[in-house]
Structure 1
Amino acid sequence: MKKLLPTLIASAIFATTAATAAPVQQSAQQNAQQGQAMQQQAKIEMTDELLQKFMVAMNDVQKVSQKYSEQFQNAENAEEAQAIQQKAQQEMIAAVTGAGLNPDEYNAVIQRVQQDPQLQQRLQEMTE
């Protein structure tokens, strides 16, 4: 079980990053929105309840990622790959909201886990 958490987190990060990757369209408005999202993420308190929801969401996101991974890799063209990616993203968002989180909360936990060894340990202990 100890090896499972880093794998799940890595999968969740990959899945979230892959699923939310969009055509590059950086504008001042998007940059402002990203800045606001990062400020909101810093304010989210890492309660046990939030982390429990995160663990459920992460597990479900990983399942969606696995479900679409092969299809995405075997896409015959960019349009097909994009359609698969969009479908996977919709299912991942549904998985996150189904676990009781919004995508910003989910992404905030992922970012904090990457940066905070104590939070990593806390999640590890929750999985045992």
Structure 2
Amino acid sequence: MKKLLVMSAVSITFAISATTAAPVMQQKAAQGQAMQQQQQQVEITDALLKKFLAAMNGVQQVSQKYGKQFQNAQEQQKKREIQQQAQQEMLAALNDAGLSPDEYNAVIQRVQQDPELQKRLQDMTSE
């Protein structure tokens, strides 16, 4: 059950972060390559995972706060405003946890791809 919660939280967090960031298409390929390099360079320590869990909790709270507002907004301008506000608060949550957006996204990517890392994260949430 906890594994499902952790993986759901990671998936939701990743999806929310991706939609609120709204990256420019031309930069996407370069960012993808940079992200892969960043993932390889980031050492996943227990301290980093603890920061990640704190950041993920903050991002989820922001997501819950703005999710319905975004879905209920009719005008594109209002949706953009909600996205911008949510993104600012998500970045603040990452900063408060001591993570950069690149570190946070690198951990998400690695957790999604690495069953051993998933287990480590699951074990940390069950403590």
Structure having the higher helix fraction is 2
Distance 1:35 1:91 in 2: 26
Distance 1:67 1:6 in 2: 20
**Greater shift after overlay, 69-78 or 11-20?**
11-20
1:50 aligns with 2:51: no
Unaligned runs of 5+ in 1: none
Normalising by the residue count of structure 1, what TM-score does the alignment of the two structures yield?
0.90
Report the Cα offset of residue 33 of structure 1. 4.0
- Which AA in structure 2 matches 1:26? M
Q: Render the CA deviation track for 1:12-61: whole Å, top value 9, x for unaligned.
A: 11221121124xx433x553344223212211000000000000000110
RMSD between aligned alpha carbons? 1.5
1:12-23 pair list within 5 angstroms: 12-22=13-23
Secondary structure at the counterpart of residue 25 of structure 2 = coil
Unaligned runs of 5+ in 2: none
- Which AA in structure 1 matches 2:15? F
1:72 aligns with 2:73: no
Structure 1 stretches of at least 4 aligned residues deviating more than 3 Å after TM superposition? none
Identity %: 54
Structure 1 residues 11 and 30: CA distance shift in structure 2, 3 A: closer
